[in-house]
Structure 1
């Protein structure tokens, strides 16, 4: 069978190679590279573009705020103080660098001292208490040999120390121990005579408290129909250390007490005895109504001879000398009794 495909002769092969080389050499090298660069984007341009896109996406995601979220305005951090009056409670907002004295005390090294509420810590005071040299009281009338309470006019005798115990006094009645309870009447009658009875009682309490040292403990109970105990931390009633923090807060508590209401002795005495102190200074101007024989017996059982109860009676005029429940209470609990004629208390210095 005949082969009809075109044949290339040997003499035509060199001429074909020459033609191909001529065509390739006729295309300029610069023109070829330019066309390649126009058709393809350089790698560094692609990289820069991708990074820019990522930065834009990140920026938008950080500025997005979820629905319902509010932007809080900048404002100074402060506290709110409350002052309670007879009719209402007033609130005051203060800067954080304007703390009250009690807050400064609580921010010291102990975290056990919490900020008192408005009911527990009164922050407004009507009057400053005078020094003890402005207080005049008569001598004890029972012939017990007690020191003259009027000795405060010429200077109070210094407290005595017996090891860890200390001897401090209230209206000339001395008590010795390491922990003390001040149980004072705050009924309306203590506000008579221009408020001198309650004012004198507060002064004596604060002077006695100041004599205690940081190794001693104390508690303060003012009572009328019900007891009002010093309780800045809002805990169960307990004794407090007589360090500077405790004394400073207690001083403000005492100054905020006012005379109001009637008088019920029993619940206050029971509360004081349950604290199991060494000494109770019990001060009242109400020997009537007194405690019954059964109530006195109940107090003896509750005490068990562990606590000395010293009774200070406020009255108008000379002591009648009767064997009232206050004398009996002191006798039954290894204590002393003193009588103070409120008409001889010096007028308050305003």
Structure 2
């Protein structure tokens, strides 16, 4: 006699129940929702308990690396980086940078305050030695090497065409000009001096600019002094009649004194990003090294730099740093025997 096994019956019923559920669409819908819910829950728990990034020695500080030229001003070291920004080296002070850690241009290069209106510089005729080793600049003809130009009021007195500036026979196109003039002790003296001679030409050059052009004046000895009519450092002035009058008063306020530090003045000029820099000095010492000349050339990055040298006696044959800085930056070099020019 055949007997029915209870275990087999239960298994048969279970299979029928499972087949019924799996064939039901509601089962799969509920299963999908449950799976998605648990996946989201797992992801949230993972994010919640994930360890945060550690700080300290494991965190790497990333910063741009560039070349900077450093110069000293008393206890502080200042530098100009390749973007033209002037900053302060905090390492010597033993502390980290506070805030930005960079002094403003006004802090480093304070401008001279406006002085009372003075009489415009005299415009007497004079004769000066022209550039004996340069191509003709359009200012006149040299009577042989070391010959005299018929000054008739100075090189800078003849205004150029629109969009140019002239100084000591150099006529240069552009709309933004910076004049960098040495005012160290050797530029002074009694009677007619190298500084007064340079001032006269500077005034004439600025007066020849038109209102669409911009300019800045930097006199320097151990440190630069900037013309700052707007009260906002780092801005060039438009050559309006008002700004020209202010510039003349500023020029008249400058006196000779101190030593010579070329670097800071040139770098301050480069920071202003002009089209042209007129650089004038009577000092072949201290010389700018080849490394510094190369750095200046990189920072100038297309700015034309003209060099005017005041010397005593005939022009030397050596290839000094003034000739090289002009040549390396697309400019012209002019030598002037100041003993002949001011007598």
1:296 partnered with 2:293: yes
Q: Which residue of 1 aligns with 2:130?
A: 139
- Note if contact 1:312-1:337 (Cα within 8 Å) is conserved in structure 2: yes
5+ residue gaps, structure 2, are 1-109, 141-147
1:188 partnered with 2:188: no
Cα distance between partner residues in 2 of 1:177 and 1:327: 21
Cα distance between partner residues in 2 of 1:270 and 1:302: 8
Q: Which residue of 2 aligns with 1:179?
A: 176
Cα distance between partner residues in 2 of 1:180 and 1:295: 22
Structure 1 residue matching 2:163: 3-state secondary structure: strand
Cα distance between partner residues in 1 of 2:158 and 2:125: 18
Deviations 1:246-301 (A, max 9, x none): 10101100011100100000010000011111111100000111101111111111
Cα distance between partner residues in 2 of 1:118 and 1:207: 22
Q: Which residue of 2 aligns with 1:320?
A: 316
Q: How far is the alpha carbon of 1:193 from its aligned partner?
A: 5.9
Structure 2 residue matching 1:287: 3-state secondary structure: coil
- Note if contact 1:316-1:341 (Cα within 8 Å) is conserved in structure 2: yes
Note closer, same or farther for the CA distance 1:304–1:206 as it changes in structure 2 (3 Å cut). same
Q: Which residue of 1 aligns with 2:45?
A: none
Larger CA Rg, structure 1 vs 2: 1
Q: Which residue of 1 aligns with 2:210?
A: 213
- Note if contact 1:124-1:256 (Cα within 8 Å) is conserved in structure 2: no
Aligned counterparts, 1:129-168, within 5 A? 129-131=121-123, 133-146=124-137, 147-148=139-140, 150-153=149-152, 158-161=158-161, 165-168=162-165
Q: How far is the alpha carbon of 1:151 from its aligned partner?
A: 3.6
Number of aligned pairs? 225
Q: Which residue of 2 aligns with 1:334?
A: 330
- Note if contact 2:323-2:333 (Cα within 8 Å) is conserved in structure 1: yes
Aligned counterparts, 1:1-350, within 5 A? 119-123=112-116, 125=118, 128-131=120-123, 133-146=124-137, 147-148=139-140, 150-153=149-152, 158-161=158-161, 165-192=162-189, 194-305=191-302, 307-347=303-343
- Note if contact 1:142-1:321 (Cα within 8 Å) is conserved in structure 2: no
Q: How far is the alpha carbon of 1:121 from its aligned partner?
A: 1.3
Cα distance between partner residues in 1 of 2:188 and 2:165: 26
- Note if contact 2:224-2:264 (Cα within 8 Å) is conserved in structure 1: yes
- Normalising by structure 1, we get a TM-score of 0.60
Cα distance between partner residues in 2 of 1:212 and 1:300: 26
5+ residue gaps, structure 1, are 1-116
Cα distance between partner residues in 1 of 2:285 and 2:112: 29
- Note if contact 2:112-2:250 (Cα within 8 Å) is conserved in structure 1: no
- More divergent stretch after superposition (175-184 vs 140-149): 140-149
